[in-house]
Amino acid sequence: MRPQSKILVLIGLILLLGSACYGATITGTVSGADSAAFQGAFVEAQNAKTRITVIVLSDSQGRYRIPDLAAGDYRVQIRAVGYRADPRPGIALTTDQNASLDFSLQKSQVRWNEISQYQATQLWPAGKGKDLLFGHCNICHQFQSRIASVHRDLDGWKDRIAFMREAMRFSVFLGPNFSDQDAEEVANYLNSLFGTDSILPKSPADMPAYQKTVRPFSSDAMNIVYVEYEMPAPSRMPFSAAPDKDGYLWIPDFGLANKITRLDPKTGEMKDFSIPFTGTGGVHSAVPAPDGSVWIAEQGPNRVGKWDPATQQITEYQDVYLPGKEGIEDGGSKHTVRIDPTGKVWTSGVPLTRFDPETGKFTRFDSGGGYIYDVKPDKNGDVWFTNIFTNKIGKVDSRTDKVSFWTLPTPDAYPRRMEIGPDGSIYSGEFRGGKVARFDPKTQTFKEFPLPGPDPSPYGLGFDADGYLWYDSHNMDLIGRFDPRTGKVIEYPFPHPEPAIREFFRDAQGRMWYGTAPNNKVGYFYLAK
């Protein structure tokens, strides 16, 4: 290559790398209605072109800093429960620009769709409809986005419940175990809360018990940064976002969408791929494999699927149902998918299964009845799982296929997600027990760590690069960082009500990815230094 050509190539490379570096920053302060510094306001900047949103919190002195913004036009706004401030659209940023924007908050009404599920359990009146709603109807969303955000008459609520029963008829909660009388009870209860003649005050803050339900956050929790991406169409119900070897994220669109979505995190571009199944697919899980394929679990039809990177098509593999239980979860379902070191595909659900891509055959394991919720192969190839209804964790030995079980110390702990720690210990979130349980495979003993708050409800779990275990508090609308070495927990505010995070995945840069299905977004977070 001639010297002039080398120089041109070098200049082009420098320009390319320079254009990829995000350097603009927005800083400022947030003050309250009393003009004092306001801690804990979410300040978010959304790029008008890419729709990528960066979200930070104001600290104890009211200061905020939104870093690493690409050049472009931004809309900057504040989000704080019980307060409002006018948004600032049309903020034009150039590369490496530092812009300054100050906000003054004004008092506003607290809305019913801004409170957590825990708060609703404390403030809503008792009734059978309430018990049924919280016990059966929180599969893909809670009450904030699709219940408290609208008002309907009784017929309207009956129509929505009928729709959900049809769409989720395979579900153990909304299928045969949810009767016509149950539907009537829930419709009447919702009509009493969010019908034309609501018994609730206009704001939950008008209730004497409200203030006791408000969860404060420490100043240590103000350094978290969220980066979020909007799904390409409404009601996609993104359950997670799992990184592949090329830096793309793979998203299962749960419910009626019948798609998986690939996200380019640099540009925000999303591309959909449809599954062949035409009913309610309920794509619950999508995980990339080392060979570039993506395996998915279809909860509705009891199938696994494989996305082929060469053809960009999905092939489905149908598992059989138990006789007399065709089409429902109790007869067979695929929940969470993982690939073991040999390339076999494991799925939780009913029952625990292993699929061999070479033979196209499923192997089913006696998992003690109940419902297998999570599944994780360890570095040795042994496969660990949780059983929510029998209150156990289990292991399949990779050499012998022998299944072993261990019962959690806390009764009815409802172990949902699990993670394998850096030292090989098994961690499980006790959804009803409000704890993190650590199991030592060598000594076969448990140690439990209580989590803070009145209803910790740990759901999604994930280890970060520093060995901290993150969890989503499903009912308190926050995420927590648990230190396995000390048991210390820091709780962090989440930028939306109803996060409903099922899983956390860590990418090669150490960013922790999540999906928030009710909010129709995926994103990642990190701690600012």
Strands 24-31 and 103-104: parallel
Measured at the CA of 147, the angle between CA 143 and CA 151, to 5 degrees, comes to 155
Helix (H) or strand (E) holding 387: strand 383-387
The per-residue pLDDT for 238 is 97
The per-residue pLDDT for 175 is 77
DSSP annotation string for 150-163 = ----HHHHHHHHHH
The closest alpha carbon to 272, from 333, 281, 387, belongs to 281
The per-residue pLDDT for 491 is 98
128-136 and 180-194 helices, crossing angle to 10°:
110
Structure tokens at 240: 């997670």
pLDDT in tens, the chain (529 residues): 444 444 333 334 333 333 344 589 999 999 999 999 999 999 999 999 999 999 999 999 999 999 999 999 999 999 999 999 999 999 999 999 999 999 999 999 999 999 999 999 999 999 999 999 998 887 778 999 999 999 999 999 999 999 998 888 888 777 788 899 999 999 999 999 999 999 999 999 999 999 999 999 999 999 999 999 999 999 999 999 999 999 999 999 998 999 999 999 999 999 999 999 999 999 999 999 999 999 999 999 999 999 999 999 999 999 999 999 999 999 999 999 999 999 999 999 999 999 999 999 999 998 888 899 999 999 999 999 999 999 999 999 999 999 999 999 999 999 999 999 999 999 999 999 999 999 999 999 999 999 999 999 999 999 999 999 999 999 999 999 999 999 999 999 999 999 999 999 999 999 999 999 999 999 999 999 8
Domain spanning 271-506: CATH 3.40.190.10: no
The count of other CB atoms within 10 Å of the CB of residue 507 is: 17
Q: Is the CA virtual torsion 327, 333, 335, 337 positive or negative?
A: negative
Query: Helix, strand, or coil here: 511?
Result: coil
Q: Is the pTM of this model over 0.75?
A: yes
Backbone φ and ψ for 88, nearest 5 degrees, come out as -115, 95
DSSP E strand stretches across 275-380: 283-288, 294-298, 303-307, 314-318, 333-339, 345-350, 352-356, 361-365, 372-377
The count of other CB atoms within 10 Å of the CB of residue 245 is: 11
| 233-250 confidence digits (pLDDT tens) | 999 999 999 999 999 999
- For residues 514 and 472, the answer to whether their CB atoms sit within 8 Å is yes
Backbone φ and ψ for 450, nearest 5 degrees, come out as -65, 140
- For residues 314 and 306, the answer to whether their CB atoms sit within 8 Å is yes
Residue-range domain boundaries for the chain: 3-107, 112-213, 271-506
- For residues 506 and 465, the answer to whether their CB atoms sit within 8 Å is yes
Query: Helix, strand, or coil here: 423?
Result: coil
Alpha-carbon Rg for the chain in angstroms: 24
DSSP annotation string for 268-289 = --EEEEE-S--S---EEEEEE-
Backbone φ and ψ for 257, nearest 5 degrees, come out as -65, -35
DSSP annotation string for 443-499 = TTEEEEEEPSSS---EEEEEE-TTSPEEEEETTTTEEEEE-TTT--EEEEE-SSS--
Which is the CATH superfamily of the domain at 3-107? Immunoglobulins (2.60.40.10)
154-167 and 180-194 helices, crossing angle to 10°:
130
The per-residue pLDDT for 116 is 97
- Which region, left, alpha or beta, applies to residue 77 given φ > 0 means left and ψ of -120 to 50 means alpha? beta
CA distance 139 to 280: 14
**Centroid of chain to Cα 241:** 9
**Centroid of chain to Cα 291:** 26
Query: Helix, strand, or coil here: 84?
Result: strand
For residue 80, what is the DSSP state? B
